[in-house]
Chains A and B, each alone.
Chain A
């Protein structure tokens, strides 16, 4: 006779979990600080670690607890602690414990440099219930510190990793493809494969870097732009396994090949992100001041249930966007979005040429556009997508 099970394991990624509508969102992003102990050449958000002006503007411990409490009351299941480097906050252990005692799971984004034995003990005793995500900038001291700009940072990163491994605390790693480390990809992938929680998946590696979300430095933006891979370089990397790439993209286009028309937020918006000063942003990347909600004056519930849903109805007005992006069948694979438009141009609806070129390079490889052809002018997109699918199955 089968034993009766009373306690059931739950997969919180399942959309079928809740009986009713469920919480307004499953995850809330929390940017504890914009300060970072690294000064990475490609970073879109870091402020100096000891910047007293920035620190003085950050929410204090009680203000963060108030927001966490509201998140718990709304049924949010996960908070992502990110930054900057979230472990720079001296009250990180207190906030982490507070979140976990509310029954929230915690996704920690960190460079691991400040994972001391004490922090690792805390994470071992009270597990975050989400794999920690660690950014890796190089496999050697020289390359790593050429990216981070901080002497001694590589040794601290390695110590942090070892503290997690010693205690069997689950974590995954992700990289950033940059000139100082571009010859270490094989070594990085091989090392990542030894990490038990990577599950034999190659690590994600960013290469299409975002510009500064605060639009605070033209010089930094210029540097970030120069660090991005070119469309040709991107295609070499993306099509390392050409058949599986074609297959994945054919499946993708089978589902997402319709132009978005003038609707701006094709992503659906979210998860919302509380910045270090209490402003709720539609997502981690979108810092347009007109779209944020001040949590010092209002509630998370009002923002998530009344204010942000209205953003989904926003329409593009820029004629160039309407002529191109709104009609483009590559829109779903293109990184163009209001956040990218904001960081590049200071508007929500200006086409970003770099992402347009990357999308077209992919489409050219897949045979969806001809050389020099503009995807928004293509009339027979369905036939071209069917041709791609036929080539895969042939």
Chain B
């Protein structure tokens, strides 16, 4: 799965979900059927996840997002890349994210 995420790829929030920021927490609410495992599932992202979610703007490539995270977070470069790819994979699997155009 990891190999399918390339550094030149661009991602956008899916129209199948609605993201809400409430009291400093990002809540992702399924809009269409089949996004959650159960019909009443809602989701939230951790701090890193929220930062990455906000960068997934249909413009930035994965490479640019990871470069941005490296400036902001103290962590090994390998860890940041793994986290970014891990989050994108999970969001794609849950239909919360869609792959946009490659640059």
A interface residues, Cβ below 8 angstroms from B: 4-10, 12, 17-23, 72, 75, 77, 100-105, 124-127, 129-131, 170
Contacts and interface: CB of A to CB of B under 8 A. Distances in A.
Contacts of A131: 40
Contacts of B41: 9, 129
Nearest to A20: B23
Interface string B22-60: 111101111111001101111111101100000000000
A6 B32 contact: no
A101 B18 contact: yes
A126 to B, nearest CB: 6
A102 B18 contact: yes
Interface size class of B (residues with CB under 8 A): 20 to 34
Given A4-B86, A10-B27, A23 B22 contact: yes
B6 interface: no
A19 B23 contact: yes
Interface string B79-98: 00001001100110010100
Ranked 3 nearest A-B pairs via Cβ: A103-B18, A75-B22, A103-B29
Contacts of B28: 7
A75 B19 contact: no
Contact of B23 (A4, A23, A101, A130): A23
26 contacts: A4-B83, A5-B90, A6-B48, A6-B49, A6-B87, A6-B91, A7-B45, A7-B91, A9-B36, A9-B42, A10-B27, A10-B44, A17-B25, A21-B23, A23-B23, A77-B27, A103-B18, A105-B40, A124-B33, A126-B31, A126-B32, A126-B33, A127-B32, A129-B30, A129-B39, A170-B39
Q: Specify which of A12, A18, A23, A127 lies most central, judged by the most chain B CB atoms within 10 Å of its CB.
A: A127
A99 to B, nearest CB: 10
A374 to B, nearest CB: 45
Contact of B43 (A10, A20, A21, A105): A10
Q: B-side binding surface: helix, strand, loop or mixed?
A: mixed
A103 B27 contact: yes
A77 B44 CA distance: 13
B24 A12 contact: no
A52 to B, nearest CB: 35
Given A7-B96, A125-B32, A75 B23 contact: yes
A218 to B, nearest CB: 43
A8 B31 contact: no
Nearest to A102: B18
Interface of B: 18-20, 22-25, 27-33, 36-37, 39-46, 48-49, 83, 86-87, 90-91, 94, 96
A179 to B, nearest CB: 36
Contact of A100 (B19, B31, B43, B46): B31
Given A102-B18, A127-B39, 19 more contacts: A4-B86, A6-B45, A8-B43, A8-B45, A8-B46, A9-B42, A12-B42, A17-B25, A18-B22, A18-B25, A19-B23, A20-B23, A21-B23, A22-B22, A77-B27, A77-B42, A103-B31, A125-B33, A126-B32
Contacts of B29: 103-105, 129
A353 to B, nearest CB: 41
A256 B49 CA distance: 42
Contacts of B20: 72, 75, 103
Nearest to A167: B33
Contacts of A130: 40
Given A6-B49, A6-B83, A72-B20, A101 B31 contact: yes
A158 B87 CA distance: 45
Nearest to A100: B31
Nearest to B41: A9
A375 B41 CA distance: 45
Contacts of A126: 31-33
A94 B20 CA distance: 21
B44 A19 contact: no
Contacts of A19: 23-25
Contacts of B49: 6-7
A6 B86 contact: yes
Nearest to A131: B40
Given A21-B23, A103-B18, A9 B30 contact: no
Contacts of B22: 18, 22-23, 75, 77
Q: Specify which of B29, B37, B43 lies most central, judged by the most chain A CB atoms within 10 Å of its CB.
A: B29
Contacts of B42: 9-10, 12, 77, 105, 129
